[in-house]
Amino acid sequence: MPIDLICLDADDTLWHNMRFFGEAQAAFAGIVAPFVDAGIATETLERCEVRNLALYGYGAKSFTLSMIETAVELGDDDLPAAVVRDILAAGRTLLSHPVELFDGIADTLAALARRARLVLVTKGDLLHQEGKLAASGLGAHFAGVEIVSEKDEGVFRRLFDRHGVAPEAALMAGDSMRSDVLPALAAGAWGVFIPQDGGWAHERGRAPDDHPRYRTLASLAELPALVDVIAAG
């Protein structure tokens, strides 16, 4: 069956993202260095970030709040106001980083759009994600944009229904096994994993064993050829 709808992740699939979070995390470790060593600071921040997902969701603003909360936890009553000020500055830097596309992304999207409708499916803060998409210059390639608080089976089923496609004629590609691949497979679609170096541990998951609709690619540039193979069936 031909693929009628191609869903694509944004962060670390179309453009660099985790690299900037890594820089913010390193800045945080330096800011709280008077209170705790870098290893403990990083571990505590990561636990706080995951704990806060249900409250703040994903994205740079959530991460900044988690940095502040972690600093308060580590510094207690001795925490100076300057630390909070420096963390807020690191958060603003994270929010304002340039959008750096992976090589050849525009050409790849053009090739994919000749094969099927494209929908961007991404998590995170609405304002920030809209801003990154606008800055990327890629918006014209997409027939739809879905910015969601979480990616799960129900989200994908509703998305396929809204766009009028059978799940088996839809494909989701991204760098997260947990959020891109596994829920799309559970919803009946194809799931394509495109791993990136430095991925967030929270987004990892076990690859399915011998699933007929699961594939791994080295880069998004390989996706048009895969879509052709699936269509040839």
pLDDT along the chain (233 residues), means of 10: 96 95 96 91 94 93 96 88 96 95 97 98 93 97 96 97 97 96 98 87 83 97 98 90
d(CA 36, CA 30): 10
Global pTM? 0.91
Q: Which of 157, 171, 164, 215 is nearest to 6 (CA)?
A: 171
The CATH number corresponding to 5-15+100-232 among 3.30.200.20, 3.40.50.300, 3.30.420.40, 3.40.50.1000 equals: 3.40.50.1000
Q: What are the sequence ranges of the domains in the chain?
A: 5-15+100-232, 18-95
For residue 76, what pLDDT is reported? 82
Q: Are 190 and 170 in contact (CB under 8 A)?
A: yes
Single-letter residue type at 145: V
Give me the pLDDT at residue 203, please: 79
Using DSSP's 3-state secondary structure scheme, residue 153 falls into: helix
Q: Do domains 5-15+100-232 and 18-95 have the same CATH topology?
A: no
CA 162/CA 34 separation, integer angstroms: 52
The CATH T-level fold of domain 18-95 is DNA polymerase; domain 1 (1.10.150)
Q: Report pLDDT for 198.
A: 72
Residue owning tokens 């994600």 = 129
**What are the φ and ψ backbone dihedral angles of 147, each rounded to 5 degrees?**
-110, 110
